[in-house]
Copies of this chain bind each other. A is one copy, B any other.
Amino acid sequence: MNALLKDIRQTPLLWLLAFVPVVFVAAKLKPEAETLLFVLSVLAIVPLTVLLSHATESVAAKTGDAVGGLLNATLGNMAEFIIALTALRAGQYMLVKASIAGPIVTNTLFILGASFLLGGLKHHVQEFNQVNARVLATMLFLATVALLVPSAITRADAAGVEFTNKLSVGLAVLLIITYALELLFSLKTHRDLFVSVSHGGGEEPWPMSVALGTLVGVTVLVAMVSEIFVESVQKAAEAFGMTPAFVGFIIVALVGGASAMPTAFSGARKNRLDLSVGIALGSASQIALFVAPALVLLSYFVGPTPMNLQFWPGAVVMMLIAALTAALVTNGGRSAWYVGVLVLMVYLIFAMTLYLLPPQVQ
């Protein structure tokens, strides 16, 4: 417990934990104040995701590299996963899909672009291991392509929902097999190719009991706050004049990815771009290969109706462009600040488009 408290004292972001009880009280007292609940739940989720990643890494540090790597990889996008699962249970499939597509785009463009920019402002030209980066970028591109096949090859309206559902289940099974093989590859047969990507940076690991307790407790808290978040998000979006697509793609993705950002950005500042590239692209691949298919399969058990992988065409274009951009900018193994500006600009343009987009065409 002391270790936990010490971390909280040292990490200003964790002071936001104070909002966790506040959001529960507010939800009880003023369930109709959706805008307030939305803001509070965002403020509460961010520090929880940070705790979650500390806890995961502490467990990982104690269990040895292979199991630890597995844990890190599987629980790394836990926050996005829980939020999407909550939306799935509520039958809000558009939000679920946006919270698959959004983190792929955000991790690839925002985390990568901001890392390049922040690193580049400090270092004239930064070099990173281009072999690693290429493997990761290829993996991300192919994972994205695989995820997008139902949307890109067929038009749902012509082919029928039954076909799309069947295809999505088959696809989900193939993607999860690919993910399992990826873990075998990166954690076992070809560990030498991968830099160890530890989200936690320099913190010392917590004792096992604290870590496991935190893991379970915080997961439950995230699930509870997510429920408030998902319930309030639509109304709040309207109040702020934000489109549902913008909320799903941008807000959910930034909230869910908040815990990975400090490590990615400080890695870039310390001229360890490999770390930043690994977090950005690894995390995006994981969403495509694991979170998305898991949600499709789970929709048969927890959702009101099955969910498929048919995305809105604009989302397809954005994911493909994000993956291609990652492949292009990491290809040479060198970066400077302006590359970050360009990548961030593409992200800003996507965000602006989603913000302005009339809801009926999404």
**What residues of B have a CB within 8 angstroms of the CB of A174 in the complex?**
345, 348-349, 352
**What residues of B have a CB within 8 angstroms of the CB of A149 in the complex?**
349-350, 353
Contact with A142, one of B142, B175, B189, B343 (Cβ below 8 angstroms): B343
User: Do B327 and A145 touch (CB < 8 A)?
Assistant: no
Is A301 located at the chain interface by the 8 A CB criterion?
no
Count of this chain's copies in the oligomeric assembly: 3
Is A15 located at the chain interface by the 8 A CB criterion?
no
User: Do B170 and A334 touch (CB < 8 A)?
Assistant: no
**Do A331 and B331 form a contact, CB below 8 Å, given A142-B346, A325-B145, A343-B142?**
yes
Select the stretch in A70-78, A219-227, A314-322 that faces chain B: A314-322
**Do A346 and B131 form a contact, CB below 8 Å, given A159-B361, A174-B352, A341-B178?**
no
**What residues of B have a CB within 8 angstroms of the CB of A125 in the complex?**
190, 193
**What residues of B have a CB within 8 angstroms of the CB of A141 in the complex?**
324-325, 328
Select the stretch in A21-29, A49-57, A160-168 that faces chain B: A160-168
User: Smallest Cβ distance from A171 to chain B, in angstroms?
Assistant: 6
**Do A159 and B317 form a contact, CB below 8 Å, given A185-B336, A338-B185, A339-B135?**
no
**What residues of B have a CB within 8 angstroms of the CB of A314 in the complex?**
152-154
User: Do A134 and B357 touch (CB < 8 A)?
Assistant: no
Instruction: Tell me the bound Cα distance from A311 to B139 in angstroms.
Output: 28
**What residues of B have a CB within 8 angstroms of the CB of A324 in the complex?**
141, 324
Central interface residue in A131, A329, A336, A338, by most chain B CB within 10 Å: A338
Across the A-B interface, give the 4 residue pairs with the lowest CB-CB distance, nearest first.
A185-B338, A153-B314, A158-B361, A142-B342
